[in-house]
Amino acid sequence: MVDKNEFFKQVTVKICSSLEIKTALERTYRYLKEQMPLDGISLTIRDPELAALRRVVKIEGERLEPLDDIFPLSADLWGEVQSWEIRTPTIMDLDHDRVLRQLIPYIQLEQDSGILIPLWVDEQLLGGLVLRACGKGRYEEAHVRLLAEVAEPFAIALANALAHEKLLKYRDILLDDNRFLNKELFLQNSDEIIGGNSGLRHVMEMVQQVAPLNNSVLLLGETGTGKEVIANAIHAGSPRRDMPFIKVNCGAIPESLIDSELFGHEKGAFTGAVTEKRGRFERADGGTIFLDEIGELPLSAQVRLLRVLQEREIERVGGSRPIPLDIRVIAATHRNLQNMVDDKLFREDLWFRLNVFPIMIPPLRQRREDVPALTRHFVARKSSNMGVHEPPAIAPGALQRLAAYDWPGNVRELENLVERELILHRGGQLLFNSVVPAERKDKAADTAAVTMVDTPLRLDEVTALHIGKVLKMAHGKINGPGGAAELLGLEPNTLRARMDRLGIDYRRKRSAS
């Protein structure tokens, strides 16, 4: 039998040689194999969060198997494991130890001999190291006494290795958060919102009222009206502005994954859950979560969301402990939630919780005065994205047509139209000839379509608007009595040349007339 002092020295050096559990155990295993019968070794730790045993390393013969096997225990068996008082290494007698007998499916000794080294640190049982030798009766009390000399270094070294592993895990979580937030976080200052002083003035007044508070907000409006931009403005104007702003499109997540994506899951919660995962709500802790298309949320997830709003806490899928949250919820939808409540598609209690401070965002056709400024903004931004150093000019007559269009797709449709126009652009001014203005049914509506309230216009734009009004009064006629040229006091050819320069297509208007 080896000298105890030499044995202690060699095992301590081996087990402390690396902060990687697998590396340290492999080196220790090779040394122990020379000193005693040994055909395998495994490290199993207790996981209080899962109420389970986790086998993290298993070495069989010369084969190292880094694992992370999870063995969930019944409540009764977990309670017995918690109160287990084995303090020193012991030969595993499955016939006489009641707890060991119940752990047979996890220990997997079968017809082999085994020694259990319990790993205690500061009166806390971390887990156990099991040494296995093929055949019965392979271990003696001398082996147990030898291993008792190194039980404490084993426990301390493995505790440090586990702490190091947890530290690396937290580092990975922070790196994951950084990547996630770099992709998801986009803050837009409310002062930059196009139309904040004109068509969206009332909306921005409500934003300024509610932003400093912690209330939930419900944004209502047609698709493409800019609900996400308003949500950004609320977050940017709140005390949470320096904390995460997490966006979730509830309609884009499959129903089978919605709970896991929003609330996270524990390791082993379902097939494929090999690691724990924090959901969007946990990522938004301390900040704001924006639930777009809230009307698409399935009823099961609505129940969980109601708990978040009421209790400010969640439970992960497969978890049993509540996780407190400090979070603000902003929801948005283009659907009529009241009708969905009547049709039993949306929970009434959730509707009442969300509808405390609704903000209705008007469609673009109801704020036509914002169209010129939005068009210029998109032309400048899309040109920059496409590598165009000098954005092309917009023909004033084109702005008139854009302002008169009904925009069923709202701001998103305008943005897409500008991008398409830039792609097709071959020099000169942007004419937007593909836009056909809707017919106005009354004079007041027609006036609103071409009046740019609170928006400074260039001289060419004012001229184009005036020529357009006169052309409409002349029913598209340019020459002769009652024609636009006579009404404007210009020569017909002079008027045509000016209309060409401004991008007003008089030929089409004349033929239509």
**316-327 residue pLDDT tens:** 888 878 899 999
Do strands 124-133 and 40-47 pair parallel, antiparallel, or not at all (unpaired)? Answer: antiparallel
Which residue type does 418 have?
Answer: V
* pLDDT computed for residue 508 by the predictor: 45
pLDDT in tens, 157-210: 878 877 777 777 777 666 666 655 554 544 444 346 888 888 898 999 999 999
> Both 36 and 144 in a single domain?
yes
> Both 320 and 284 in a single domain?
yes
Tell me phi and psi for residue 463, to 5 degrees. Answer: -60, -45
Residue 242: which of 181, 322, 294, 183 has the closest Cα?
A: 181
User: Is residue 172 in a domain?
Assistant: no
> Both 221 and 273 in a single domain?
yes
> Residue 21: which domain range?
4-165
Tell me phi and psi for residue 278, to 5 degrees. Answer: -85, 135
User: Is residue 433 in a domain?
Assistant: yes
> Both 194 and 114 in a single domain?
no
Q: Could you say which of 328, 362, 396 is where a domain stops?
A: 362
Which residue type does 365 have?
Answer: R
pLDDT in tens, 444-482: 444 444 444 445 566 777 788 888 888 888 888 888 887
User: Is residue 180 in a domain?
Assistant: no
* pLDDT computed for residue 176 by the predictor: 62
Domain count, the chain: 3
> Both 238 and 322 in a single domain?
yes
Alpha carbon of 371 to those of 105, 415, 448: distances in Å? 71, 11, 12
- What CATH number has the domain bearing residue 224? 3.40.50.300
> Both 352 and 402 in a single domain?
no
User: Is residue 170 in a domain?
Assistant: no
Q: Give the chain's length.
A: 513
> Both 408 and 507 in a single domain?
yes
> Both 343 and 422 in a single domain?
no
> Both 237 and 376 in a single domain?
no
- What CATH number has the domain bearing residue 149? 3.30.450.40
User: Is residue 177 in a domain?
Assistant: no
* pLDDT computed for residue 172 by the predictor: 67
Coil, strand or helix at 509: helix
Coil, strand or helix at 208: helix
Q: Could you say which of 346, 362, 378 is where a domain stops?
A: 362
Residue 129: which of 199, 30, 28, 244 has the closest Cα?
A: 28
Enumerate residues 6+ apart whose C-beta is below 8 A from 194. 370, 373, 374, 377
- What CATH number has the domain bearing residue 465? 1.10.8.60
Residue ranges, the chain, pLDDT below 70: 1, 64-68, 94-98, 101, 104-110, 172-192, 437-458, 506-513
> Both 418 and 466 in a single domain?
yes
User: Is residue 179 in a domain?
Assistant: no
User: Is residue 70 in a domain?
Assistant: yes
Q: Could you say which of 362, 394, 427 is where a domain stops?
A: 362
* pLDDT computed for residue 299 by the predictor: 92
pLDDT in tens, 272-307: 777 778 889 998 999 999 999 999 999 989 999 999
User: Is residue 176 in a domain?
Assistant: no
Cβ-contact 277, 260 below 8 angstroms: yes
Q: How far apart are CA 62 and CA 232, in angstroms?
A: 57
Alpha carbon of 367 to those of 175, 298, 403, 441: distances in Å? 43, 34, 9, 17
> Both 117 and 215 in a single domain?
no
> Both 450 and 344 in a single domain?
no
Residue 313: which of 341, 285, 291, 338 has the closest Cα?
A: 285
Q: How far apart are CA 127 and CA 275, in angstroms?
A: 20
